[in-house]
Copies of this chain bind each other. A is one copy, B any other.
Amino acid sequence: MKKKRITLKDIAKELNVSISTVSRALKDHPDIDKTLTKRIKTLAQKWNYIPNPLAMGLLRQQTRVIGVIVPDLVTYFFSSIISGIEEELQQAGYYIVISSSKESMEKEIESVNNLLNLRIDGLIVCLAQNSKSTKHFEKVLEHDVPLVFFDRVCLEKKVSTVVVDNVSMAEDITTHFYKNGAQRIAHITGPKHLNIVQERTEGYLKGLNQVGLEYDPKYLIRTDLSPVNATKATQKLLNLPSPPDAILGVNDTVIFATMKEIKSRGLSIPEDIMLAGFSDEFHATVVEPNLTSVAHPTHEIGRNAAKLILEQIEEGRSIQKKIILNTELHIRESSQRAVS
């Protein structure tokens, strides 16, 4: 009953020719008799012959599998990027194996090793929140496995990356807040070692500077990227003698927690406090008020990361490129106040 996968050998035996002849015929090798070629091809078609990818992989030392490691699978930002990666790679005949680091460096290291052992042809990664070491990625490089980072990156000198211009976007939001009447603009930020965190903080400071507001350390709160700690950070801000009248979150997840906390205190958005976040999670347009956010071109991030990997595989050498994608500031209710 079980349908055996048919091999060159099967075809060869049936037609009383050698395996090599079959192999050549199937790729239209000129040496093989045209009539024989046709017969072989017909049978191969009929029996639905597909070369065994394991054998091919062994021969060519490649698997046509690309590894993808993301901090988590369930937020829209990442799943949508994965969707973009998948689209591009599937078209090129590659498969993707996904692994979630759950924001933990340990799991990330484990995933890298697993995937390396699987002999992936390339690796696309968004760093886990607490990934401070880069050793595991240097190992990837040593093995000459093409590597691409997106969003949260490291080893920028050696590795290709796909990012967005966090600095200018954070700056834009900050000035936007000011134009809408904010005077005490706060920023809930994340772990210092992440590039996206640094850049957004830098943009925030630039923005303050541009509109002539003085930077007040009280209004810059560092936390991790979890909702729980975002809530705590918000409480700290709201408990200040003069609480902020605008808060920029390091991402939307943080801002959703902030929003809940603000609402629970009976304060109103944007009247009392304006809000804006990063990454434009799907529910930015679902919450009330709708959230102002920087929309990342998630699908494009994924596709570009995939393209970079493909390029490196084809070129055979490791090219170092940095692709900066445009984001859009989606201004919605949470940050628009009628300025008197």
Contact = CB atoms under 8 A, between A and B. Distances in A.
Interface of A: 1-3, 5, 50, 52-55, 57-58, 63, 65, 72-74, 76, 79-80, 82-83, 86, 90, 95-100, 114, 117-119, 142-144, 256, 282-283, 286-288
Contacts of A282: 74, 283
A102 to B, nearest CB: 9
B65 A73 contact: no
Nearest to A139: B3
A239 B249 CA distance: 42
Contact of A96 (B54, B97, B117, B283): B97
A72 B142 CA distance: 35
A288 B333 CA distance: 15
A contact face: mostly helix, strand, loop, or mixed = mixed
B86 A79 contact: no
The listed residue with most B CB atoms (<10 A of its CB), out of A73, A99, A143, is A73
A76 B283 CA distance: 11
Contacts of A52: 58, 119
Contact of A54 (B1, B57, B100): B57
Nearest to A63: B54
Nearest to A65: B97
Contacts of A97: 65, 95-97
B99 A90 contact: yes
Contacts of A53: 117-119
A2 B143 contact: yes
A273 B173 CA distance: 38
Contacts of A144: 1-3
B5 A143 contact: yes
A74 to B, nearest CB: 5
A333 to B, nearest CB: 12
Nearest to A283: B283
Contacts of A99: 86, 90
A82 B82 CA distance: 12
Contacts of A256: 286
Given A82-B98, A86-B100, 18 more contacts: A2-B144, A3-B142, A3-B143, A50-B117, A73-B86, A74-B76, A74-B79, A74-B80, A74-B282, A76-B76, A90-B114, A95-B114, A98-B98, A283-B283, A283-B286, A283-B287, A286-B286, A288-B288
A295 to B, nearest CB: 15
Given A2-B144, A79-B79, A286-B283, A86 B98 contact: yes
Contacts of A118: 53, 95
